Amino acid sequence: MKLNTIMKKIQLLFLALITFGSANAAIVYNDIADVTLTSDGEINIDFNGGGTDFMFENNSFGGTIEPALEFNPDAGFVMLGNVVGQGHDEIIGLAINTPINSTSYFANNGGDGFVDPGFATTPFTVGDSYIGATFKIGTNVHYGWILVNWDANGTFIVKSYAYENTVATSILAGDTGVTINVDVTGITVTGAGGQTVLAGINLGNSLQMSAAVLPANATDNTVTWSVINGTGTGSITSTGLLTGTTMGMVTVKATANDGSGVIGVLDITFEVTGGINDNATLASSAYPNPFTNTLSVKTELNSTISIIDLTGKTVFSTFNTTKVVHLNLTELKIGIYFLSVSNNSKKSISKLIKK
């Protein structure tokens, strides 16, 4: 055996020893230094520290390297399926998260397999991919993977490998047994049906809020709800049910619970009814709007005319005996109000602005 081959085996054994995971772990992961297969070299894989389980070597007779793998009768690689050529088996490159278990097609035809041989019916994956493996520790079957890189031009690199320490248990290609937290990067807050106006707050109406968290695979996609009071006030439950207490605008806030500090906000307006001139059966109008001190209201006779502030308090009220009544509202502070006009069962509400 050539000296450089011996040195490679010693180096790989040393790397396996210093990176070997705990025997009590579900997945034993070895992140070795990348090793490139040379024309006269070997790369040995020792999954569990008990000796070589698999050996990569160059199967070509000169020229471009054609990686081949040798293994004992108790081992095998995930092959292309039942498609074989000249009695040989083609190993396939698996995508990350591919299950490797008893349902995988493991072939052991002569104790060897080939990566992208000249007779291949399906080319081996170019770039990074995973080779699925099975082997025994004593009499117990285990499943594992080997991360490799192939450029289709003779460069074959082994990067890392792992196996499932639990007997006869499936492993996903690329699973290292380490949980990686995925932080929240964005939160979009919406009201049910896309609503941003909540009507009928004096009746205790509520609006269900929802939070869409990104990315979809965030480890913790839960949020904490809160309300920032503005011109209006409201409350919200832990499940996002918003209730208005006084008219005006509030900001609904959803804060990620994963510690990322990401928030989502949405402004919601509380109104006494569903909108301006909610009840069209009562004709009324007010002008000018915005007004300064005097407001003229045109409506049906014998109607009750009220001015309501953003807290829901009635700050002015009168009863008209003419179709047009001129209101002196000098005492009102500059701001936003609501004009409520009612006559028996008919009613209309409109927004006013005093400047």
Class of domain 186-271: mainly beta
Structure tokens at 111: 């104790």
- Look at residue 39 in the predicted model and tell me its pLDDT: 86
pLDDT band of 16, cuts 50, 70, 90? very low
Structure tokens at 56: 């990569």
Flag whether pLDDT at 159 surpasses 80.
Answer: yes
Class of domain 285-354: mainly beta
CATH 2.60.40.1080 domain residues, the chain: 186-271
CATH 2.60.40.3080 domain residues, the chain: 285-354
Q: Confirm if 267 and 283 have CB atoms less than 8 A apart.
A: no
pLDDT band of 276, cuts 50, 70, 90? very low
Give me the chain's average pLDDT, please.
81
Report which of 207, 313, 178, 348 is spatially closest to residue 270, judged by C-alpha positions.
207
Q: Kindly report, residue by residue over 117-145, the tens digit of the pLDDT.
A: 877 778 899 999 999 999 888 899 999 99
Helix spans in the chain (H): 3-19
- Look at residue 62 in the predicted model and tell me its pLDDT: 63
Name residue, tokens 């047009």. 324
Flag whether pLDDT at 201 surpasses 60.
Answer: no
Flag whether pLDDT at 81 surpasses 60.
Answer: yes
Report which of 112, 114, 135 is spatially closest to residue 123, judged by C-alpha positions.
114
CA distance 272 to 244: 10
Q: Kindly report, residue by residue over 249-267, the tens digit of the pLDDT.
A: 888 999 999 999 999 999 9
Residues 6+ apart with CB under 8 A from 204: 243
**323 burial class (0-12, 13-18, 19+ CB within 10 angstroms)?**
exposed
Question: Dihedrals φ, ψ of 259, to 5°?
Answer: 85, 5
Using the Cα atoms of residue 153, residue 155, residue 159 and residue 160 in order, give the sign of their dihedral: positive
pLDDT band of 65, cuts 50, 70, 90? confident
Q: Could you give the 3-state DSSP secondary structure of residue 193? A: helix
Report which of 128, 133, 48 is spatially closest to residue 96, judged by C-alpha positions.
128
**20 burial class (0-12, 13-18, 19+ CB within 10 angstroms)?**
middle
Q: Number of H helices and number of E strands within the chain?
A: 1, 29
